[in-house]
């Protein structure tokens, strides 16, 4: 029997169910080598309670009731569109488990999209999957292999020009701090930066909830001026041997002092102290300025295929690449920060 025939035969012995999953879900996720932080069951209460979206726990089971694959899926239905995404507002997701189970889960998700009238199904997977989906390749990440010690980081990873920039903030009296108590300072920088970028900001409650749900797996870090003003910040997530800078920001008027360089270097140092070996810079647009910043550290590009199905050609989530959103971005950048911070969290729920 060929590999393709064997996979088809295997898929015929599986079925997909949807519903509450309990602790068994996280046990399966923790055991699967392709899983990410975004596959954890705790995201349900964040997506439903905080953002108001519908959550589905899809599982592929064999004839004996054993789990063979899982797919967390969120329905985002707004005036801007109707989407099924695994997982919205973050960078990873998609089906995991046996290949045949992944393929069946994809087919089930596409069927859900077709029957419900969704315009787009997007599986934010780091790997390609089989089924009636195609890679979108609109995002990329950069991963840096961390050395075993901070000494080796400074000796072998950081170049002379980088070391100079990293030391600059300290000479200006800036300091780095991390811990859950720095959430509000992180958000102050993040919200301001999102306004400057012309993008509505996620509600602060979103970050409070992920901190309470996932505990030590979420880290907030901030660079402060000598006067105590937060000027660069990050919210990082940890999974196995990897730390990801899922959200990072800095204030433009302080960029000449390079607080972002201090932020990222100190995050790397902390990750090494935790025994982690991979520094994930998070997603970005290939070839953009953010991509250039991430590449300078010497990491390697990791394509994010994000396999998708769309009802109409060219369908996608709201994007700054489209003319209407370029106009909206320019208008948003002119809003006073307090106004943007009041209205932004309402609109951000619609921008997965």
pLDDT for 296-313, tens place per residue? 999 999 999 999 999 876
Within 13 Å, how many C-alpha atoms sit on residue 81's CB side?
19
pLDDT for 341 = 79
- More confident position, 333 or 303: 303
Q: Per-residue pLDDT for 205 more than 60?
A: yes
Q: Per-residue pLDDT for 227 more than 90?
A: yes
Q: Per-residue pLDDT for 347 more than 50?
A: yes
pLDDT for 256 = 95
pLDDT for 105 = 98
Mean of the pLDDT values across residues 273-285?
A: 96
Q: How confident is the model at residue 235 (pLDDT cuts 50, 70, 90)?
A: very high
Within 13 Å, how many C-alpha atoms sit on residue 32's CB side?
27
Mean of the pLDDT values across residues 256-285?
A: 97
pLDDT for 1 = 47
Please, what is the average pLDDT of the chain?
91
From residue 132, give the alpha-carbon distance in Å to each of 110, 139, 165.
7, 20, 47
Which range has the worst mean pLDDT, 77-91, 141-155, 208-222, 330-344? 330-344
pLDDT for 2-38, tens place per residue? 455 445 555 678 999 998 888 899 999 999 999 999 9
pLDDT for 81-99, tens place per residue? 899 999 999 999 999 999 9
pLDDT for 314 = 61
- More confident position, 345 or 19: 19
Which range has the worst mean pLDDT, 1-10, 61-70, 164-173, 197-206? 1-10
Q: Per-residue pLDDT for 123 more than 90?
A: yes
Domains and CATH numbers, the chain: 3-137+306-317 (3.40.630.30), 141-302 (3.40.630.30)
| Both structure tokens of 4 | 């393709």
- What are the E-state strand segments in 79-229? 81-86, 96-97, 120-123, 139-145, 175-178, 218-224
pLDDT for 326 = 67
- What are the E-state strand segments in the chain? 15-18, 54-61, 67-78, 81-86, 96-97, 120-123, 139-145, 175-178, 218-224, 230-239, 242-250, 278-284, 300-304, 308-310
pLDDT for 42 = 96
């Amino acid at each position: 029997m060929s590999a393709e025939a064997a996979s088809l035969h295997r898929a015929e012995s599986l079925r997909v169910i949807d519903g509450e999953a309990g602790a068994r879900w996280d046990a399966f996720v923790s055991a699967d080598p392709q899983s990410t932080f975004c596959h954890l069951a705790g995201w349900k209460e964040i997506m439903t309670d905080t953002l108001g979206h519908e959550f589905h726990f899809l599982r592929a089971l064999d004839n004996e009731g054993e789990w063979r694959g899982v797919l967390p899926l969120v329905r985002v239905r707004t005036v801007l569109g109707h989407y099924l995404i695994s997982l919205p507002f973050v960078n990873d997701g998609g089906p995991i488990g046996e290949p045949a189970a992944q393929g069946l889960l994809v087919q089930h998700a596409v069927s859900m999209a077709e029957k419900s009238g969704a315009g787009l199904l997007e599986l934010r997977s780091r790997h390609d999957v089989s089924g009636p989906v195609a890679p979108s390749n609109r995002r990329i990440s950069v991963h840096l292999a961390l050395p075993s010690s901070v000494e080796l980081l400074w000796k072998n990873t950081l170049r002379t020009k980088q070391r100079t920039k990293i030391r600059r903030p300290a000479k200006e009296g800036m300091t780095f701090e991390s811990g859950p108590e720095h959430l509000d300072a992180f958000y102050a920088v993040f919200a301001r930066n999102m306004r400057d970028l012309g993008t509505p900001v996620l509600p602060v409650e979103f970050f409070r909830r992920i901190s309470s749900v996932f505990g030590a797996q979420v880290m907030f870090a901030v660079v402060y001026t000598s006067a105590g003003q937060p000027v660069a910040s990050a919210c990082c997530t940890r999974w196995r041997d990897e730390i990801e800078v899922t959200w990072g920001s800095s204030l433009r008027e302080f960029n000449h002092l390079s607080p972002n360089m201090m932020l990222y270097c100190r995050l790397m140092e902390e990750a090494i102290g935790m025994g982690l070996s991979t520094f994930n810079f998070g997603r970005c647009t290939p070839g953009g300025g953010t991509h250039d910043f991430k590449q300078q550290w010497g990491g390697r590009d990791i394509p994010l295929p994000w396999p998708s199905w769309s009802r109409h050609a060219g369908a996608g989530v709201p994007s700054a690449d489209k003319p209407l959103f370029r106009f909206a971005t320019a208008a948003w950048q002119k809003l006073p920060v307090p106004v943007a911070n009041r209205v932004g969290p309402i609109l951000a729920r619609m921008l997965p």
